Amino acid sequence: MKQRLAKIAIATGLALAAVATSAPAQEFPDKPITMMIGFRPGGAVDTTGRLIAEKMSETLGVPVTGVTKSGGGGTVMAAELINSEPDGYTIGMGASAAYTLAPQLNSDLPFKIDDFDHLATLTYPSDAIVISADSEYNSMEEMIAAHKESGDPITFASQVSASRLMVAAISKATGVEFRVIPVQGGADGIKEVLGGHIDMTWSGSGWTEQVRAGTMKPLATMAADRMEDYPDVPTLLDLGYDFTFVDTFMLSAPKGVPEDRMAILVDAIEKAISDPAVQETLREKIGLQTKYRGPEETTDFLHQQYDAVAPLVDAASG
Amino acid sequence: MDQILLGVGDALAIENVLLIAVGVFTGLLVGAIPGLNGPMAIALALPITFYLSSLSGIAFLIGIMKGGTFGGSVAAILLNTPGSPEAAATAMDGYPLAQKGKGLKAMKMALYSSVFGDSVSDIVLFCVAAPVAVISLKMGPPEMASVLIFALTIIAGLSGKSLIRGLIAATLGGVIGTIGLDPESAVPRMTFGFVQLSDGVSLIPMTIGLLALSEIIVQLEAQILGRAGAAKRLNPFAKEVPRENKVVTWAEWRACFPTTLRSSAIGTGIGALPGVGAVVAGFLGYASAKRASKTPEEFGTGKLEGIAAVEAANSAVSGANLIPLLAIGVPGSLTAAVLIGAFLVHGVQPGPLIFQDHPRLIYGIFAAMVLANIFNFVIGQAGLRFFAFVVSFPNRFIYPAVILCCIAGAYAGANSMFDVAIAFIFAVVGYFMRKLDFSFAAFIIGFALTPQAELYVRQTVILYGDRPMTLLTDHPIVAFFLALTTYSVIRIARYQRKADHARVALREGATSNDAPDLEITVRDRSEP
């Protein structure tokens, strides 16, 4: 008797499981999708995520809810994302440096690029290396040449690992000594440069207002291409330094999301970020450029970024 | 002038006035509930403001910020569990006053000094934001390092009865404060492989556990063991409480006024320096009031001045925090950073040109701040009755509600169960600290100051490591604060020796078991 009951139970269970796996495949999504956001509210990543979430909800017909999971430059979110169910109902909004650079610097991080199904890249900031407007130098070349001659070090306020690698690359190419001073955020770097305590800093945002006010001068950008709004600011590549790093804001999912669900999500994301109104809002309000990449391109991009910084990380730590 | 009037007019629009009132009320409420606090409410409310105009949205958030600064003191005074971290020092004199049946007097003093400190700092913001911002720009890494080193000497004033135990608590706090990524190399320190610790232990879950949950454990223990005396609360509104215990008299206000003014100045100064914060300001205000007082031994036993000292200082931070934000485009605190988000979402770039580009908005915000102060006073005054009513509920209702709020509050900062675990771990730490009489204040100051002090000292070493003596010759601010620190340390050592002599004399003279503090500690520890 007991055995028969057990058999029936197993059979029903299997049948239910079969129904459960087949039914939502057609109807995905049929419940709210959670978008974990790896940075604090109000910042560039958060704003991008919430705008895209809103547009995705319109397309998918279910709410896409932004939930803040901030910390560690997006790595806390990523670490949580790999442990969530790969059913397409949990996605994560983060930044490429969390997948490409952070794991090379911090061996504690329990994830690699390929532990995720990356969905898309969305936006990146218009960044610049800036100095005080009071400085006697007007270009990177001038400043480097002068310090090369005098042998004085350049002090550089760094809030992210990428800018630390950047000065290492410039230093290696030119022989000029840089003293890298850690600061807690882009705003602190700007403050130290404005106060005349540190020569130079890198800023992902906030620098444009200082330049407009005439308090700071941009020397170069880490981006691969020149900025539309500041065509006179050269890239580091233009200046002959083999360094570019664009911390790109992007969406990922845990590894193993069924293909049909991936397709539905990717379509909704592409539609959201292709909306000219969204792009304009992002650019005008928070100075973000849009760069859409699909899942494969995104994964390729991350691997390229990983490989590009690997030798610099080795050099810096060795 | 036109722009000023237009801005003020905007702020007085009925929907804005209502939003500010709602914001202040929300702030008071979340501030008063242990576990929930202002910055958290602002972060949660931010998405709501996307649908409001820029002034309405920002005015609403500022209302929350201002309400939250006073709200935290209510639970600190009535329940001995600070509603928000910066009110931790308010409990030191507030709770003893409440135990004496003077809870309402204490809360009123907290409200008046809070609104006063807030207003002083707003006036500084309105009138002299630009010059103050220039001074704060002049505070480079060595200057900040020297200020923080000096600030660490206030541990002595916060140590409670035993300086040694105060130092131990502060050191432990400091060690906890170094958890996280190394600021220079980004290598994890003491994270034990937990990614969640890479930004360090979060202040809010830690203080929730340390201050609020641990107090509940102590109260429950007292109740279970039948020592109900500790858990009995007096209803501050009860008829049998004499009127003089319900009001702050003009004489009392005047007696505390020098302290209120000093603390307002301290809070404003701390607020104008990016990255120090209201928690430090509150303790600093308390310690300097104690140092200036003729009767320092009365602090901690229920002295009205102690409340004024803390509340004026921690509230004065909120207005001054906006000085670096509005004058140079650099946020001075977490709250200000969230406000930057609100500005950006509404298409306003905070930066040096904000006055030029958006004068009407800025003057509107100023008017909103004044309104928020007024509402804070009015709603606070009316709300005291309500808060006291809530607190007069039996413990079996209060504690579950407070515990729930604490858990929710620990979770809500980063939506993380890890932070809830942090809160519970520190609840146990806090329980033993209460039992063994270790100072929370010293622990929190150690925790709050160490990461900042470390960062600035390391920055200074990188910048001036090859020419350290120039710090004393070319940086007068550094020389001044280091001299002040030296003086303070000598004075503390002298005072301590005198106190030790007095105690030794007392012990030799007395026959009772009037053992010195240290021995009690040892004995308590050896018990299973």
Selected residue of B335, B344, B411 to mutate for chain A interface (largest A Cβ count, 10 A): B344
B113-117, B433-437, B519-523: segment of lowest average pLDDT: B519-523
Q: Rounded mean pLDDT of A116-123?
A: 96
Name the percent of chain A lying above pLDDT 90. Answer: 63
CB nearest to A184's CB, from B275, B329, B414: B275
Distance from CA of B181 to the nearest CA of A (A): 9
Contact call for B351 and A198, based on CB within 8 A: no
Dist CA B221 CA B218 (whole Å): 5
pTM of the entire structure?
A: 0.83
Is the confidence at residue B68, as pLDDT, over 90? no
Which of the pair, A22 or A134, is modelled with greater confidence? A134
Contact call for A187 and B331, based on CB within 8 A: yes
Name the percent of chain B lying above pLDDT 90. Answer: 38
Nearest CA in chain B to A212: B353
Which pLDDT value is given to residue B75? 87
Which pLDDT value is given to residue A177? 94
Domains and CATH numbers, chain A: 31-126+246-317 (3.40.190.150), 128-220 (3.40.190.10)
Is the confidence at residue B168, as pLDDT, over 80? yes
pLDDT in tens, B373-425: 999 999 999 888 887 777 777 878 888 888 998 998 888 877 889 999 999 99
Nearest to B72 by CA among B266, B207, B225, B253: B207
Orientation angle between helical segments B54-79 and B38-49, nearest 10 degrees:
160
Any chain A CB within 8 A of the CB of B469? no
Which pLDDT value is given to residue A48? 92
On chain B, the residues whose CB falls within 8 A of the CB of A47 are 341, 344-345
Which pLDDT value is given to residue A287? 82
Any chain A CB within 8 A of the CB of B417? no
Dist CA B257 CA A255 (whole Å): 63
Residues 131-170 of B with CB under 8 A from A: 137-141
Which pLDDT value is given to residue A3? 59
Selected residue of A181, A188, A313 to mutate for chain B interface (largest B Cβ count, 10 A): A181
Contact call for A108 and B191, based on CB within 8 A: yes
Is the confidence at residue B193, as pLDDT, over 60? yes
Dist CA A70 CA A37 (whole Å): 7
Q: How far, rounded to the nearest angstrom, does the alpha carbon of residue A268 sit from its chain's CA centroid?
A: 20
Which residues, in sequence order, are CB contacts of B217 under 8 Å at separation 6+? B427, B430, B431
Using CA atoms of A186, A189, A190, A192 in order, give the dihedral in degrees to the nearest 10. Answer: 160
Q: Rounded mean pLDDT of A183-211?
A: 89
CB nearest to A181's CB, from B187, B324, B463: B463
Per-residue pLDDT band at A44 (split at 50, 70, 90): confident
Which pLDDT value is given to residue B230? 47
What's chain A's average pLDDT?
88
Contact call for A180 and B137, based on CB within 8 A: no
Which of the pair, B510 or B130, is modelled with greater confidence? B130
Q: Rounded mean pLDDT of B469-478?
A: 92
Contact call for B188 and A108, based on CB within 8 A: yes
Nearest CA in chain A to B337: A42
Dist CA A180 CA A166 (whole Å): 11
Name the percent of chain A lying above pLDDT 70. Answer: 91
On chain A, the residues whose CB falls within 8 A of the CB of B338 are 40-42
What's chain B's average pLDDT?
85
Any chain B CB within 8 A of the CB of A216? no
Which pLDDT value is given to residue B225? 85
Which of the pair, A272 or B83, is modelled with greater confidence? A272
Is the confidence at residue B502, as pLDDT, over 80? no
Is the confidence at residue A239, as pLDDT, over 90? yes
Is the confidence at residue A24, as pLDDT, over 90? no
Which of the pair, B180 or A205, is modelled with greater confidence? B180
Name the percent of chain B lying above pLDDT 70. Answer: 93
Per-residue pLDDT band at A234 (split at 50, 70, 90): very high
On chain B, the residues whose CB falls within 8 A of the CB of A177 are none
pLDDT in tens, B268-294: 999 888 778 888 999 999 999 988 888
Any chain B CB within 8 A of the CB of A65? no
Contact call for A194 and B353, based on CB within 8 A: no
pLDDT in tens, B11-42: 889 999 999 999 999 999 888 888 888 878 88
Contact call for B345 and A70, based on CB within 8 A: no
- B502: three-class secondary structure by DSSP: helix
Is the confidence at residue A19, as pLDDT, over 50? no
* Reported ipTM exceeds the 0.90 cut: no
Nearest CA in chain B to A154: B463
Which of the pair, A40 or A38, is modelled with greater confidence? A38
